[in-house]
């Protein structure tokens, strides 16, 4: 990733993921699950936040206030897979529904922190919104 120090905006330059999905019965389904999980992780890492007012009422309860990734936020995803059959079932398949999400969230956060290292920023809590990144750069 690259971070614009003037705005805190994060731009993906490349995203690569290789998942071991066991025996693949439907490649398009597997790709869709992995891609969807990565996009969910992108949202969790950079955008999504539950905000409550002083009375404890959720103020980001609708999609007009709760940020989720748009198509323009999603980088080109370079994905591939290995097929190591599972020994615990006759088809050799493995669950793939969570595969894209599990590693992607920390990978995205760590990539942003690597980009911020020259500015002395070592830690940020999610979501890594542009304003939070900008303030961290200014405060480091």
For the stretch 102-126, pLDDT in tens is 999 999 999 999 999 999 999 999 9
**98 among known catalytic residues:** yes
Instruction: State the total domains in the chain.
Output: 1
The residue from 2, 49, 98, 131 that is catalytic is 98
pLDDT in tens, 46-86: 999 999 999 999 999 988 888 899 999 999 999 999 999 99
In a domain, 15, yes or no: yes
Instruction: List helix spans (H) across 21-94.
Output: 27-46
In a domain, 139, yes or no: no
Beta bridge partners of 79: 17
Say how far apart CA 127 and CA 48 lie, in whole Å: 6
Q: What is the pTM of this model?
A: 0.88
> Rounded to the nearest 5°, which phi and psi values hold at 19?
-120, 145
Q: Which domain holds residue 129?
A: 2-133
Tell me, rounded to whole angstroms, the distance of Cα 116 from its chain centroid.
Answer: 17
């Amino acid at each position: 990733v690259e971070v614009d120090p003037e705005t805190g905006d994060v731009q993906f330059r490349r995203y690569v993921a290789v998942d071991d999905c066991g025996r693949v019965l439907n490649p398009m389904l597997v790709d869709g699950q992995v891609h969807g999980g990565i996009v969910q992780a992108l949202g969790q890492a950079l955008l999504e936040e539950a905000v409550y007012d002083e009375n404890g009422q959720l103020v980001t309860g609708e999609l007009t206030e709760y940020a989720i990734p748009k198509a323009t936020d999603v980088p080109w995803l370079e994905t591939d897979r290995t097929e190591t059959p599972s020994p615990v079932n006759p088809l050799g398949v493995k669950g793939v529904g969570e595969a894209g999400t599990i590693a992607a969230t920390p990978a995205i956060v760590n990539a942003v922190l690597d980009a911020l290292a020259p500015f002395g920023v070592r830690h940020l809590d999610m979501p890594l919104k542009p304003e939070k990144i900008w303030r961290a750069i200014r405060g480091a």
